[in-house]
Amino acid sequence: MIYDEYDYKIPEGKRIRLIIDSDVKNEADDPYAIIHALLSPKFDNRGIVAAHFGSVRSPHSMQDSDTELKHILQLMGLPEGLAHPGASKPLTQRNGQLITDGVAAVPGQKPPSDGARFIIEEALREDTKEPLYVVCMGPLTDMALAWICEPSIARKLTCIWIGGGAYPYGGFEYNLSNDILAAQTVMHSDLPLWQIPRDVYSEVLVSMAELQYKVKGCGILGGYLFEQLEQCSHTSASMATNRTGEFWCLGDSPGIGVLLADQLFGYEWRKAPGIRPDMTYTEEPDNREIKVYHRVNSRYILEDFFAKLALYAQRQGTK
């Protein structure tokens, strides 16, 4: 799916294929990042995997994400076929095998989730030369499953992960906490990985007044984005944070921003860390290098999104 209703065109050879893996219903920032991607002509949006977000906030979190994802697609008049359900539970280990939903992930076998199957299928396509990126905005469950079942995808895609604690020590981070074993698996794999850790994605702050002014009035889609975020700000989970009611963090949006204009962001290459059960990092000198971001361009990310949403609403005749 490519949306390119703009007065500018993407130069030949610059477009990329994109899969998003998102715990859509976990928090209100995911829909902003998803819609940003769907409105960006650089991307051939191949599909979106609905991810779980543990069982604390909901006993059926993946299904909640899948329902919300299909609602977004419906609002935009896009086919539900773009949505793929992911694993409904984090990985566990039994007899040396990694298991989710009661099914083991085995090399060369069908993966335990439709989302992992879709990632493999898209990665193994031979009818396109466009590079494939998978942006994970939640736990790494489906990415880990896809790699375990088909390790050759490491030569076919790049994974971008919004997750993990600040370097060098790590520590608690929500996306990581929902599947530590999956993150350990990906860190010790040979998958090309770009990591945007907690201290970096937390830089993308926006005021509620700014969202009312720049988002709410952008038709049905803008109204949905603002209202679902405003409602989320009154949940018990949000009330327990240091948020004041005046701002929000659009922490998933850097995963889109780094693909739109990577040269605007600061990063370093470092050895992929090990991850302890308490989510702190260990040095692993034999691991491959991964790209770790230490700075994002919040102005570019936010203003690009605001502009694309406004132009979309204008074209729909709803602003």
Residue 90 lies in a domain: yes
Rg for the chain, CA atoms, rounded: 19
Other C-beta atoms closer than 10 Å to the C-beta of 269 total: 9
Give the CA count within 13 Å in the CB-facing half-sphere of 306.
Answer: 16
Please state the three-class secondary structure of 50-83 as a single string.
Answer: ECCCCCCCCCCHHHHHHHHHHHHHHHCCCCHHHE
Residue 3 lies in a domain: no
- What does the alpha-carbon distance between residue 275 and residue 94 come to, in Å, rounded to a whole number? 19
- Tell me which residue of 115, 172, 163, 171 sits closest to 138, measured CA to CA: 163
Residue 8 lies in a domain: no
SS3 116: helix
Residue 9 lies in a domain: no
- What does the alpha-carbon distance between residue 157 and residue 3 come to, in Å, rounded to a whole number? 22
Residue 63 lies in a domain: yes
- What does the alpha-carbon distance between residue 132 and residue 122 come to, in Å, rounded to a whole number? 8
Domain range enclosing 113: 16-316
Residue 46 lies in a domain: yes
Residue 140 lies in a domain: yes
Q: Which residues of the chain have pLDDT under 50?
A: 319
pLDDT, one tens digit per residue, over 89-102 is 999 998 889 999 88
| pLDDT given at position 237 | 62
- In this structure, what CATH number is given to the domain that contains residue 36? 3.90.245.10
Residue 82, φ and ψ in degrees, nearest 5:
-70, -15
| pLDDT given at position 241 | 61
Q: Judging by DSSP bridges, how do beta strands 274-275 and 132-136 pair with one another?
A: unpaired
| pLDDT given at position 101 | 85
* Single pTM value for the model: 0.95
Number of domains, the chain: 1
Structure tokens at 48: 């979106």
Residue 1 lies in a domain: no
